[in-house]
Structure 1
Amino acid sequence: MHTDTISAGVVHDVPEDLRQVLVGDEAALALWEDITPIARNEWICWVEDAKKLETRHRRIARVRTDLKAGKRRPCCWPGCAHR
């Protein structure tokens, strides 16, 4: 199911670095497409909320591993303030 088009969140579009990771992993991409637009929005906002580049990279990696572990939203984060 490799595709360049993936579903976005309610408010946020998928940033390129996160899109590349998801498109490169069929299982993670399938799980991404299975969550709600609000849940995708939470993941995207959580990634974009990182202050440091290394934190952003770590969060992007966690999106993939957490989705594969059955998590549908970021853990221990207050949520997107943009919706």
Structure 2
Amino acid sequence: MKSAFLHGIVHTAGDDMRLALQADPDIFALWQALTPIGRNEFICWVEDAKQPKTRARRIERTCEELLEGKKRPCCWAGCIHRTDKKPSAWQQAVLIDGKRN
């Protein structure tokens, strides 16, 4: 029986991301072993892509980074959608306030 796909604490992975992660049993095992916050960070990073090509690249990079042993996306400031913690000063200034301009 196939394991249920685990999502993040705020975000749910899209079908394209889910299928890519499940395509390789090693990558899928690494995904399932991540913490809910770790999975959430990867999903948020993918969901933040503005163009389909960027989204596809980020999904591919997620698979690569998992195989490299990464637990969070490289060079990602972090999910600003979480309600369980206050955004850092950097997130507030750059990601949140910057989008209002």
- TM-score, normalization by structure 1: 0.93
Give how far 1:70 is off.
0.5
Counterpart of 1:78, as a letter, is A
Is 2:97 aligned against 1:80?
A: no
**8 Å contact 1:41–1:80 — kept in the other structure?**
yes
Give how far 1:4 is off.
6.8
CA distance in 2, matches of 1:4, 1:20: 13
Counterpart residue number, 1:47: 46
Counterpart of 2:35, as a letter, is T
Give how far 1:77 is off.
1.1
Q: What is the CA RMSD across the aligned residues, in angstroms? A: 1.3
Query: How many residues were matched structurally?
Result: 82
Counterpart residue number, 1:62: 61
Q: Higher Cα Rg: structure 1 or 2?
A: 2
Percentage of pairs with the same residue: 51
Counterpart of 2:23, as a letter, is G
Give the number of the structure with larger relative contact order, counting CA–CA contacts within 8 Å between residues 6 or more apart.
1
* SS in structure 2 of the partner of residue 78 of structure 1: coil
**8 Å contact 1:9–1:37 — kept in the other structure?**
yes
Q: What are the ranges of 5 or more consecutive residues in structure 2 without an aligned counterpart?
A: 83-101
Give how far 1:5 is off.
2.7
- TM-score, normalization by structure 2: 0.77
CA distance in 2, matches of 1:28, 1:22: 6
CA distance in 2, matches of 1:30, 1:4: 10
Give how far 1:3 is off.
3.1
Runs of 4 or more above 6 Å deviation: none
CA distance in 2, matches of 1:58, 1:26: 20
